[in-house]
Amino acid sequence: MEIILLENIDNLGYKNEIVDVKPGFARNYLIPNKKAKIADKTNKKALEEMLRQQKLKLEKEMAGYEAQAEKIRNTEITVGAKTGTSGKIFGSITNVQLAEAIREQTGVQVDRKKIIIKEEVKTTGKFEAQAELHKDVKADFVFKVVAE
């Protein structure tokens, strides 16, 4: 019996996937517990339309994420820090400060947990970092630490 899964089920399949199962398993467990529905002509057509709309929505979102990534890449991010006389900063630059600087200078909101600074920043100068805007969209950029 063909069914459309309404949620991920271990050892069976993923949400919105059409799978073939034994009729008893479908009638007695999957359908009554709202984990699946029968894959008839109407439900298959509705599933196709829903997947098509999800794909279009994802493409629009990805275009937006790419535009944000390009904005971050093209902007030289500057982070101010208190320094001593030798150019060494007090403490270090964290991803929290970097996320705030990105938001102020580009207008792009990046989660601080999604920013990876490639090396520890304890002096003034230029450094590299990466911001993950989406699981498939990452922006490598250079930021500059200056004395305040």
Residue 60 belongs to a domain with what CATH number?
3.40.5.10
Q: What is the pLDDT of residues 51-106, one digit of tens each?
A: 999 999 999 999 999 999 999 999 989 999 988 888 788 888 999 999 999 999 99
The domain boundary, picked from 49, 64, 79, lies at 64
Model pLDDT, residue 17:
93
The domain boundary, picked from 64, 80, 106, lies at 64
Q: Which amino acid is at 64?
A: G
Say whether both 78 and 134 belong to one domain: yes
Q: Could you tell me where the DSSP H helices lie in the chain?
A: 23-25, 41-74, 95-106
Model pLDDT, residue 87:
78
Give the separation between CA 75 and CA 91, rounded to whole angstroms. Answer: 25
Q: What is the pLDDT of residues 110-138, one digit of tens each?
A: 999 999 999 988 888 999 999 998 888 89
Model pLDDT, residue 29:
95
**Is residue 6 predicted with pLDDT exceeding 90?**
yes
State the total domains in the chain: 2
Say whether both 73 and 36 belong to one domain: no
Say whether both 55 and 75 belong to one domain: no
Residue 125 belongs to a domain with what CATH number?
3.10.430.100
Model pLDDT, residue 99:
93
Give the residue numbers spanning the domain of 29.
Answer: 2-64
Say whether both 38 and 90 belong to one domain: no
* Residue 33 and residue 7 in contact, taking contact as beta carbons nearer than 8 Å: no
Model pLDDT, residue 85:
82
3 token code pair: 């069914």
**Is residue 20 predicted with pLDDT exceeding 90?**
yes
pTM of this structure? 0.65
Say whether both 140 and 122 belong to one domain: yes
Model pLDDT, residue 78:
93
Give the separation between CA 125 and CA 78, rounded to whole angstroms. Answer: 10
Model pLDDT, residue 40:
95
Say whether both 105 and 143 belong to one domain: yes
Say whether both 74 and 139 belong to one domain: yes
Q: Which amino acid is at 61?
A: E
Report residue 116 CA to chain centroid gap: 14
Say whether both 92 and 32 belong to one domain: no
Say whether both 24 and 59 belong to one domain: yes
